[in-house]
Amino acid sequence: MAEHPENIARNQTIETLVTGLRARGRIGVRPDDTALGLSRIDEYIQFPPPALKSPN
């Protein structure tokens, strides 16, 4: 199977994300794709805490 330019960009992007997760201490060896995706979500997607409801 021939390499396509978009595959190279994808591989470089994934390696950059893996390197970032390693630098943050989130992963050691590269996990499988599912675990990698979940690690990225846990690390990079932050939701604000729920707003406190005022007592009425």
Say what the pLDDT of residue 11 is.
86
Q: Is the Cβ–Cβ distance between 36 and 30 less than 8 Å?
A: yes
* pLDDT confidence of residue 40: 92
Nearest Cα to 15, choosing from 1, 30, 5? 30
What pLDDT is attached to residue 31? 92
Nearest-angstrom CA–CA distance, 34 and 24: 19
Q: What is the pLDDT of residues 3-49, one digit of tens each?
A: 666 667 888 889 999 999 999 999 999 999 999 999 999 998 988 88
pLDDT at 49: 81
Q: Which residues contact 21 (CB under 8 A, 6 or more apart)?
A: 27, 36, 39, 40, 43
